[in-house]
């Protein structure tokens, strides 16, 4: 015990950024609880169930490289029991640093946070035994099969695959046909699904998912979120990050984060309703040319590709734009006023910075 | 060292003449490319890969034209990465035929490696080297001289707005920046065709659009782009796409035609209609 704790402290001190290999080892380290610990855990859980905030973050900050990079800047939020909270922000916004502090892998510079009532600095052992964490780049045991990986995780948490099978069923069935295959021989998305099953198998009461659907195909993404929605009704709180804006709709609340700061916290619907720009979907026969021409049109605040059409924040009149595009030789032009999606909100909040 | 890393370090072409046809970073000029045969596309006939009794890629037949942006879609485990690795000369096919940039995937694997760029799903840059060191390293791997690398590196850093981070370790960069850099190093030697395995996975919406700008730039210079993605909006940005199910190509057409054929409003719907026909087991 001492040496592990010592190693963790040392890691925390020496380098605030853990390389993925050490992080993985730390996450994998969860020795079975002693009888005494189990008792303690049981006690605390009955106490905690009465509180609603399973994750509580207050003015948390973290910097790297001798304070030259402020990765997390005075961040506060809460995640309640039965809630899915989404952290949405560009690459490098500080999401993963927040996950690492809350899962006790790195220490905050200032501020405080509790998970299930436990302090992320003082009570790291309790937190680790009660949460599930799926880091963005998860390393499985490449030489173990799907089945062996899962059994391994179940065992270190003192449970069995059978006991909590219902939690992972929907995702597990997709990789089950290959359960004897070594993790190293799985496709990228199959690995991701296995990693998620491993994070869930001990029925954690707080689940941290750092980009759980990256590399997962569109059909499976939908199934995964349906699974998370179902899971919510159990005694659990979920903090997730995602680069897929359509997934933000599956969260109860989302926090838009940029440059280490949380800009807004709202429900997805609330966020969409706050959007107040004149937004249009514009399509034409040649989308690549359309996008280029739109860049030159003066009365446009912003324009960008959006699947098979362009989204445009148009300050002028749409009839003028249509005439302009026709003059430029485009055909089959359609300009339709639309309601913003979360992705439009996201792009707008970044461009307003 | 994994296979990709080995490939990159081992693969140092002996003599290489890039010539002065390189137009980088100016657009619109089609580079002559390195390959003698100069056919920038690819074609596969009944290309197959088996692992033991399991057929990961099952007799795929298709063509990609020079300069095309070709999207290679499919559910997890469909066989995309396996097929791509065969086309890159990294994995020996079990049977079938294929040529890439005019070279045979069975007999001319070394030639293929010289004429393509490859950005793997897992490995693309050395995390513990700086931006500049990575560019110099990959430039060297593809046989460019330091005197050629320097000016190209400067214009690349400018274009990516990376001048401030040139001496930063790659591991300190946000993912989207790394991916843009990885793509740029994969085409630094102006290959005829570049293979991108999920280059934008995990990248935010704004940076993804910047990434696709880079893809369009490369394509306009005549580089054929072969790309896998799980983002269906990106599928719309491809000239043509194929959709793989259980190792086979189930559909291949322009996004527009596929939507019409499946009576769908978006590529997302097309994917739903096709991708979940998967049935295979070990
Ligand atoms: N070395 C191997 N041994 C056995 N099976 C393998 C090996 N490599 C790949 N496979 C299997 O081949 C199938 C196709 O894998 P591949 O990585 O090509 O899928 P993919 O389409 O790239 O999926 P993803 O979208 O998840 O990246 C999978 O079932 C995978 O487990
Ligand atoms: Mg793959």
Q: Is the CB of B3 under 6 A from ligand 1?
A: no
Q: Is residue A38 part of a domain?
A: no
pLDDT by residue for chain B (282 residues), tens only, comes to 444 444 443 333 333 322 222 222 222 333 333 333 456 799 999 999 999 999 999 999 999 999 999 999 999 999 999 999 999 999 999 999 999 999 999 999 888 988 999 998 777 789 999 999 999 998 888 888 899 999 999 999 999 999 999 999 998 888 889 999 999 999 999 999 999 999 999 899 999 999 999 999 999 889 999 999 999 999 999 999 999 999 999 999 999 999 999 999 999 999 999 986 666 666
A321, part of any domain = yes
In this prediction, residues A104-112 reach a mean pLDDT of 95
Closest residue, chain B, to A181 (C-alpha): B282
The Cα A207–Cα A102 span in angstroms is 11
- Alpha-carbon separation of residue B195 from A259, B55, B226 (angstroms): 32, 22, 5
ipTM over 0.90: no
Model's pTM, two decimal places? 0.83
- For residues A22 and B244, which has the higher predicted lDDT (pLDDT)? B244
Q: Are residues A159 and A248 in the same domain?
A: yes
What's the CA dihedral at A166, A171, A175, A180 to 10 degrees? -30
pLDDT digits (tens, 9 = 90+) for A211-227: 999 888 998 888 889 88
User: With left for phi above 0 and alpha for psi between -120 and 50, is residue A59 left, alpha or beta?
Assistant: left
User: What is the reported pLDDT for A272?
Assistant: 95
Atom of ligand 1 nearest to the CA of B84: 18
At A138 the pLDDT is 65
Q: Do B75 and A220 touch (CB under 8 A)?
A: yes
Domain boundaries along the sequence of chain B: 26-115+191-282, 126-174+185-190
Say if residue A8's pLDDT is above 50: no
CA of B257 to the centre of ligand 2 (A): 25
In a domain, A70, yes or no: yes
Between A29 and B237, whose confidence is greater?
B237
pLDDT band at A41 (very low <50, low <70, confident <90, very high): very low
Rounded alpha-carbon distances, angstroms, from residue A188 to A206, B33, B209, B244, B271: 25, 32, 23, 15, 18
C-alpha dist (Å) from residue A81 to A42, A54, B277:
17, 6, 37
User: Which strands make up the sheet holding B240-245, listed edge to edge?
Assistant: B116-119, B193-197, B224-228, B69-74, B240-245, B248-253
**What is the CATH architecture assignment of B26-115+191-282?**
3-Layer(aba) Sandwich (3.40)
Is residue A14 in some structural domain?
Answer: no
A338 and A238 fall within a common domain:
no
Judge if A242 and A158 occupy the same domain. Answer: yes
- How many CB atoms within 10 Å of residue A112? 14
* pLDDT the model gives residue A232: 86
Confidence of residue A1 (pLDDT cuts 50, 70, 90): very low
Q: Does pLDDT of A12 surpass 60? A: no
Quote the ligand 2 centre to A217 CA distance (angstroms).
10
pLDDT for the residue numbered A99: 95
In chain A, how many domains are there? 2
pLDDT confidence of A167, banded at 50, 70, 90?
confident
Q: Distance between CA A118 and CA A195 in Å, rounded?
A: 25
Check whether residue A174 and residue A297 sit in a common domain: no
Considering only alpha carbons, which residue of chain B is nearest residue A350? B206
Residues A316 and A208 in one domain: no
Q: Where are the extended beta strands (E) located within chain B?
A: 42-51, 54-64, 69-74, 95-100, 103-104, 116-119, 193-197, 224-228, 240-245, 248-253
Do B275 and A91 count as a contact with CB atoms less than 8 A apart? no
In this structure, the answer to whether residues A97 and A219 fall within a common structural domain is yes
- Quote the pLDDT of residue A351: 83
pLDDT of residue B264: 93
> Residues A102, A134: one domain?
yes
Q: Is B81 in the pocket of ligand 1 (CB under 6 A)?
A: yes
In B, minimum Cα distance to A342 occurs at B205
What is the pLDDT at residue A282? 97
User: What's the average model confidence in pLDDT over A322-327?
Assistant: 96
A101, part of any domain: yes
Interface of chain A toward chain B, CB-CB under 8 angstroms: 17, 64-65, 69, 89-92, 136, 174, 177-178, 180-181, 185-190, 192-193, 211, 214-221, 243-245, 288, 304-308, 343, 346-347, 350
Task: Note whether residue A25 is domain-resident.
Answer: no
Q: What is the pLDDT of residues B208-252, one digit of tens each?
A: 999 999 999 999 889 999 999 999 999 999 999 999 999 999 999
- Which residue range forms the structural domain that includes residue A260? 52-267
Ligand 1 atom with the smallest distance to the CA of A187 is: 17
Phi, psi of B237 (to 5 degrees): -80, -5
Shortest distance, CA A189 to any CA of chain B (angstroms)? 5
- What's the pLDDT at B29? 32
Report whether pLDDT(A164) > 50: yes
Contacts of B162 in chain A (CB under 8 A): none
Integer Cα distance of A29 and A91 in angstroms: 28
Asked if the C-beta of B126 comes within 8 angstroms of chain A's C-beta atoms, the answer is: no
Q: Confirm if A226 and A178 have CB atoms less than 8 A apart.
A: no
Segment A44-101, tens digit of pLDDT? 444 444 558 999 999 999 998 766 778 999 999 999 999 999 999 888 889 999 999 9
Both A233 and A187 in a single domain?
A: yes
Banded model confidence at residue A277, pLDDT cuts 50, 70, 90: very high
CATH number for the domain that contains residue A280: 3.30.70.2070
In a domain? residue A317: yes
A133: nearest Cα among A229, A62, A211: A211
Pocket flag, ligand 1, residue B55 (CB < 6 Å): no
- Asked if the model's pLDDT at residue A25 lies above 80, the reply is no
> Given A222, A248, A267, which residue is the final one in a domain?
A267
- Does the residue A284 lie in any domain? yes
Q: Which of B3, B50, B82, B118 to mutate to test the pocket of ligand 1 (most atoms within 8 A of CB)?
A: B82
A237 and A98 in a common domain:
yes
> Which residue has a Cα nearest atom 14 of ligand 1?
B79
| Interface contact flag, A305 B267, Cβ < 8 Å | no
CA of A321 to the centre of ligand 2 (A): 42
Question: Is the same domain home to A101 and A239?
Answer: yes
Tell me which of A16, A99, A172, A189 to substitute to probe the interface with B (most B C-beta atoms closer than 10 Å): A189
Residues of chain B with Cβ-Cβ distance to A214 below 8 Å are: 201-202
């Amino acid at each position: 015990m001492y040496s592990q704790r010592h190693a963790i402290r040392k890691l925390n001190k020496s380098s605030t950024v853990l390389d993925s290999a050490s992080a993985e080892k730390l996450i994998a380290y969860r020795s079975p609880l002693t009888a005494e610990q189990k008792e303690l855990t049981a006690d605390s859980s009955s106490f905690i169930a009465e509180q609603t905030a399973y994750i509580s973050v207050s003015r948390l900050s973290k910097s790297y490289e001798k304070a030259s990079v402020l990765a997390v800047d005075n961040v506060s939020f809460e995640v309640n029991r039965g809630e899915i909270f989404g952290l949405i922000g560009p690459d490098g916004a500080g999401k993963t640093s927040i996950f690492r502090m809350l899962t006790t892998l790195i220490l905050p510079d200032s501020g405080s946070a509790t998970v299930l009532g436990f302090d992320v600095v003082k009570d790291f052992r309790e937190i680790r035994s009660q949460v599930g964490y799926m880091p963005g780049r998860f390393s499985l045991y490449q030489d173990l099969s799907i089945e062996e990986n899962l059994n391994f995780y179940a065992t270190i948490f003192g449970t069995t695959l059978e006991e909590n099978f219902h939690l992972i069923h929907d995702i597990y069935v997709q990789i089950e046909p290959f359960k004897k295959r070594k993790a190293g021989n799985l496709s990228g998305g199959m690995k991701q699904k296995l990693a998620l099953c491993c994070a869930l198998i001990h029925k954690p009461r707080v689940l941290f998912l750092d980009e759980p659907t990256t590399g997962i195909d569109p059909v499976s993404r939908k199934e995964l979120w349906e699974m998370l929605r179902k899971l919510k009704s159990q005694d659990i709180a979920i903090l997730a990050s995602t680069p897929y804006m359509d997934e933000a709709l599956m969260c109860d609340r989302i926090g838009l984060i940029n440059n280490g700061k949380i800009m807004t916290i709202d429900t997805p619907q609330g966020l969409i309703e706050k959007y107040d720009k004149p937004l249009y979907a514009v399509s034409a026969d040649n989308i690549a040319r359309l996008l280029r021409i739109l860049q030159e049109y003066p009365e446009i605040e912003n324009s960008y590709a959006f699947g098979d059409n362009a989204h445009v924040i148009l300050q002028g009149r749409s009839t003028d734009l249509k005439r302009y595009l026709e003059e430029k030789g485009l055909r089959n032009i359609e300009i339709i006023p639309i309601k913003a999606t979360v992705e439009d909100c996201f792009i707008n909040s970044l461009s307003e910075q | 060292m994994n296979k990709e890393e080995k490939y990159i370090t081992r693969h140092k072409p002996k003599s290489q003449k890039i010539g002065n046809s390189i137009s980088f970073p100016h657009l619109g000029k089609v580079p002559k490319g390195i390959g003698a045969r100069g056919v920038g596309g690819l074609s596969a006939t009944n290309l197959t890969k088996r692992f033991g009794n399991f057929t990961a890629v099952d007799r795929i037949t298709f063509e990609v034209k020079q300069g095309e942006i070709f999207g290679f879609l499919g559910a997890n485990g469909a066989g995309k990465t396996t097929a791509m690795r065969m086309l890159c000369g990294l994995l020996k096919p079990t049977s079938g035929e294929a040529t890439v940039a005019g070279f045979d995937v069975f007999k001319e694997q070394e030639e293929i490696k010289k004429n393509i760029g490859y950005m793997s799903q897992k490995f693309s840059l050395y995390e513990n080297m700086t931006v500049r060191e990575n560019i110099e390293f990959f430039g060297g791997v593809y046989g460019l001289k330091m005197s050629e690398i320097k000016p190209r590196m400067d214009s690349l850093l400018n274009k990516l707005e990376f001048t401030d981070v040139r001496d930063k370790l790659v591991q300190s960069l946000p993912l989207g920046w790394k991916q843009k850099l990885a793509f740029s190093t994969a085409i630094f030697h102006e290959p005829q065709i570049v293979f991108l395995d999920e280059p934008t996975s995990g990248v935010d919406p704004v940076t993804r659009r910047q990434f696709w700008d880079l893809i369009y730039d490369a394509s306009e210079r005549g580089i054929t782009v072969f790309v896998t993605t799980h983002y269906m909006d990106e599928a719309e940005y491809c000239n043509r796409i194929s959709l793989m199910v259980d190792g086979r190509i189930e559909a291949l057409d322009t996004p527009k035609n596929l939507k019409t054929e499946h009576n769908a409003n978006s590529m997302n719907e097309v994917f739903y209609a096709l991708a979940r026909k998967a049935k295979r087991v070990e």
